[in-house]
Amino acid sequence: MSNSTLNLYVKRISLVIGGLIAFAASTRASVIYNNLGGFTGGSDPLIPGFGPRYDSFTSAGSKQIISRLELKLEGRGGPGQITVELFSDSGTSPGALIATLGIINAATISGTDSNGFGKTYSLSLFSMPLLAASTRYWIGLSDTGAVAWDFSGDTSGVGVSGEYFANQQGVAPNIDGPYQMRLSVSIPDSGSTACLLGFGVVVLVVMRRKLSC
């Protein structure tokens, strides 16, 4: 077998193993915060001078990664971009920036739902940061255009009660109407992931030894 053929096999095996590991994590995905189903009471603009705006959430009881974030936003398809970031907690207020989760083109935010409010948009994640267990974090949105983030006074959704939101007026408990989002995390099955990693290392070592012969 030629070196080029073996190299191709190594690349393919690496991709398969990576996919299996990702699948092992995704099989334990769960929603830890969700108030998208609540009736929208209004919206707050994200433009400079009004934003950024934040929602807090508390992670699950074991280490996990953010795997999906959906936001209810209003806009008219104008210029600008919405930056979505993850922050630590500092005394029940947004703390240090941890990671930029993604950026949304404001031009894609347009139209309304059946009640005349914003629509739900799924963020294409730039990063999937690891969260510590049972820890409060904050999702923060800022915008250079004219997009607004919808809010709801319904706190019956998963993980909503007992959390907080923040804006230029300060921090408030969620009974006053937090911004609308749904946050999902993936909790890797450590046993399955370890087995897959071990298998992958063995296969790659064997293949690379053949390449060196």
pLDDT at 48: 86
Check whether residue 36 and residue 88 sit in a common domain.
yes
Q: Which of 166, 187, 170 is nearest to 57 (CA)?
A: 166
Check whether residue 116 and residue 132 sit in a common domain.
yes
Number of domains in the chain: 2
Check whether residue 123 and residue 195 sit in a common domain.
no
Query: How many other CB atoms are there within 10 angstroms of residue 96's CB atom?
Result: 8
pLDDT at 78: 85
Alpha carbons 201 and 194: distance in angstroms, whole number: 11
pLDDT tens for each residue of the chain, 213 residues long: 555 554 555 455 544 444 444 444 444 789 999 999 999 999 999 988 888 999 999 999 999 999 999 999 999 888 899 999 999 999 999 999 999 999 999 999 998 988 899 999 999 999 999 999 999 999 999 998 889 999 999 999 999 999 999 999 999 999 999 999 999 999 876 554 444 445 444 444 444 455 455
Alpha carbons 55 and 3: distance in angstroms, whole number: 53
Check whether residue 202 and residue 120 sit in a common domain.
no
Check whether residue 12 and residue 87 sit in a common domain.
no
Instruction: For the full predicted model, state whether its pTM sits above 0.75.
Output: yes
pLDDT at 205: 46
Check whether residue 196 and residue 133 sit in a common domain.
no
CATH of the domain at 106: 2.60.120
Query: How many other CB atoms are there within 10 angstroms of residue 26's CB atom?
Result: 15
Check whether residue 129 and residue 195 sit in a common domain.
no
DSSP 22-86: HHHHHTTEEEEEE-TTSPEEEEEE-SBTTB-EEEEEE--SS-EEEEEEEEEEE--S-S-EEEEEE
Check whether residue 36 and residue 96 sit in a common domain.
yes
- Three-state secondary structure call for residue 14: helix
Is-contact 170 44, C-beta < 8 A?
no
pLDDT at 187: 85
pLDDT at 114: 85
Q: What is the separation of C-alpha 176 from the centre of its chain, rounded to a whole number of angstroms?
A: 24
Going across the sheet that includes 81-89, the strands are 94-105, 81-89, 136-143, 53-58, 164-167, 170-173
